[in-house]
Structure 1
Amino acid sequence: MQEDEVDRLIATIPDDLTDTELLTVELAKRIGLIGRLFQDAVQGILDELNLTHAEFEVLAALRRAGEPYRRKPRDLARDLVLTSGGISNVLLRLETAGLIRRTPDPDDARGRHVELTAAGLEKARDAVRGATQAQVDAMTTVPPATARAAADALRDVSLSLRAPRRL
């Protein structure tokens, strides 16, 4: 089996960790590495479109919402794991660029919605298509069966990590 940087890192960890602890460190590091590799693959298209990763995530989330491509800022912040200050900054940049507009919430006099403009929808489509293609291109050397097995295994890990702990 071929070694990667995670294997080399794990080999440098002192012997005082148990096998379970080492496996946990290895899994966390490997997930982080794969995430960075995907982010690096997508970064080129985001640079071409003059978008930050956070701006891309907001545009993609609004697009996924379907017509009228509208959501509440607090829901975007929660779903994208952004602070209220972080989402405010991203929304301000997107609004300044003409990609979103803020509209009154008819159900809450103090509330606002954020929605894609026509230019924002076009940018969101371009960004999602470009990012998806970049990820597909990054995966060209990974056999489909390996990718499927990894996705299934990571789902199991994700669900297990969120399951209530039994003492």
Structure 2
Amino acid sequence: MSSLSLAQHAVRLHTVLERPIAEVLKQHGLSRGELDVLGALASGGDARPQELSSQLLLTTGGLSNILRRLENDGHVTREASRTDARSSIVRLTAQGEEVAWKTGAAVTEVIERALAAVDPSVVEAADDHLHRVLVALDEDDPVHRTFS
């Protein structure tokens, strides 16, 4: 029963945090997927679309749409790979980097406000336990990005 309870708590926490996060994203003109892509590029540097798709658990079609919007908005560029003509490299523009860090910092701030009533040691323990669950599931990679 504790597995079901863990899942229910994780979903509930996601729902509670998603409301203020969605408002921040709306103010910054980004979707969750767009911020995820910008954040991955800001913290990890240039990447192939296949790498982003795998890291962020996005379908290639969904990622294509996100990259098209980000490119149209001047946040990223896509260039042909020098080593593989069938592939491209996605890079943040200076504008994209600024948007990634500003929006990421605003999201971090709203999460901190939402969790302000929770004792910091409880947040730290929950983070540690969820980290261990995700490591055991081999799903921990994309979650370690900071915007501070």
TM-score with structure 2 setting the length: 0.87
Q: Which of residues 51, 58, 76 is equivalent to 1:100?
A: 76
Which structure carries more relative contact order (alpha carbon 8 Å, separation 6+)? 2
Once the two structures are superposed, residues 48-90 of structure 1 have per-residue CA deviations (whole angstroms, 9 ceiling, x without a partner) of 011010001000101001xxx3111010000000001010010
Indicate the residue corresponding to 2:31 in structure 1.
52
Q: CA deviation at 1:161?
A: 4.1
> Where do 4+ consecutive residues of structure 1 move more than 3 Å?
159-162
SS across alignment from 1:141: coil
SS across alignment from 2:118: coil
Aligned residue runs from structure 1 range 16-27, under 5 A: 22-27=1-6
Indicate the residue corresponding to 1:143 in structure 2.
119
Aligned residue runs from structure 1 range 29-108, under 5 A: 29-65=8-44, 69-108=45-84
Shift in CA distance, 160/102, structure 1 to aligned 2, threshold 3 Å: closer
SS across alignment from 1:110: coil
Q: CA deviation at 1:141?
A: 0.3
Once the two structures are superposed, residues 110-163 of structure 1 have per-residue CA deviations (whole angstroms, 9 ceiling, x without a partner) of 21011111111111111111111111111100101111111122223333445x
Aligned residue runs from structure 1 range 6-21, under 5 A: none
Q: Aligned residues: percent identity?
A: 32
TM-score with structure 1 setting the length: 0.78
Structure 2: gaps spanning 5 or more residues: 139-148
Structure 1: gaps spanning 5 or more residues: 1-21, 163-167
- Higher-Rg member (1/2): 1
Distance (whole Å) between structure 2 residues aligned to residue 160 and residue 80 of structure 1: 18
Q: CA deviation at 1:101?
A: 0.8
Indicate the residue corresponding to 2:110 in structure 1.
134
Distance (whole Å) between structure 1 residues aligned to residue 80 and residue 74 of structure 2: 17
SS across alignment from 1:121: helix
